[in-house]
Amino acid sequence: MMVSPMQKMSLRVRGLLDDRSGLAAVEFAMIFPMMVVMFFGVVELSSAISADRKATLVARTLADLTSQMASVADADLISFGQTAKAIMTPYPTSPLISSITEVYIDSVSGAARAQWSKALAIDTAGNVTISSGPHGQGDVVVLPPALVVAKGTYVIWSKVSYKYTPAVGYMLAKTGLTFNDTAYTRPRTVLCVKYNGLPANSCPTL
């Protein structure tokens, strides 16, 4: 029986349509790019969450360590900075900027005033440096209302800022995200924690 050219072409087209030998490869080629994007996205997001939690832990640790001291000096603050560096491992610590401030809540007016404030920074070599903090002595600062209620008391206030830069930048901005956190504690062993003689007059309560 003679088969016309049109019939031959029809049979070939039908054979191609019925062929399933490369279906898995085609599906994989379509799904693979989405799988790669999702993988890097999950890695970036989980890494950013981890860095944020570590920054929070640094803020709490700085406030906690300071509140356990009767007095602190630059050497103590540098040790606290080294602890912060260890907490941030394996993330780079040079973007980490932190500060420790002691605040007195006036027993009459309830105004919160800074007694002393120091800033800590870590360079790319891992060295901790101490400088003047964000608040000068006597500056009025804003604290959460729950802390201001306790008049005539002192508060150790730590602040941390950390810029996280993703390695790839698929899901997060390539310029990075800045995480900010704070922590508050009360001095544990003394009425106030002194730094180089501050606050003066043996922790005033008036």
Is the separation of the CB atoms in 68 and 189 below 8 Å? yes
Sign of CA dihedral 53, 55, 57, 63: negative
Distance CA(171)–CA(42), nearest Å, equals 8
Q: How would DSSP label each residue in 117-157?
A: EEEEEE-TT--EEEEE-SS-TT-B----HHHHTSTT-EEEE
Is the separation of the CB atoms in 149 and 112 below 8 Å? no
Distance CA(163)–CA(93), nearest Å, equals 10
- Band of residue 38 on the pLDDT scale cut at 50, 70, 90: confident
Q: Is the peptide bond before 33 cis (omega within 30 degrees of 0)?
A: no
**What is the pLDDT, as a whole number, of residue 5?**
61
- 26 or 6, higher pLDDT: 26
CA 145 to chain centre: 24
- pLDDT digit string, tens, across residues 155-202: 999 999 999 888 776 667 778 889 999 999 999 999 999 998 888 777
| Helix axis angle, 23-67 to 74-88, nearest 10° | 160
**What is the pLDDT, as a whole number, of residue 34?**
74
